[in-house]
Amino acid sequence: DALPISVVDTDVHHGDGSQDVFYHDPDTLYISFHQDGRTLYPGTGFMDEFGGPQAIGGNIDIPLPPGTGDEGLMKVMRELVLPILEEFNPHIVINSAGQDNHFSD
């Protein structure tokens, strides 16, 4: 049996490629918090994208309003991401930070 893993994507853009890779994998929990896709490329990453038929709940998108600062990001981590990770209990957590975290990007 595969050990469960989690990927937490903290890039400002939705990780559409990473989501596509893990969308049908029941052993991987993919969490992305990013700027709302209605306001930023690639225009994806909405809350109704739950995972494939064998992996429902394995994909969690948390779109945030433009300009969400440190306080908002910490609230997302404390109140959403960490409790979800505790419940899923992955063997390893991978942070996917991309290269788009710079304030002028």
Each residue of 13-49: b (16+ CB within 10 Å) or e? bbbbebbeebbebbebbbbbbbbbbeebeeebbeeeb
pLDDT recorded at residue 99: 60
pLDDT recorded at residue 77: 98
Average pLDDT across each block of 10 residues of the chain; the chain has 105 residues. List them in order: 94 93 97 97 95 97 97 98 98 86 52
pLDDT recorded at residue 98: 76
pLDDT recorded at residue 103: 56
pTM for this model (two decimals): 0.91
pLDDT recorded at residue 101: 53
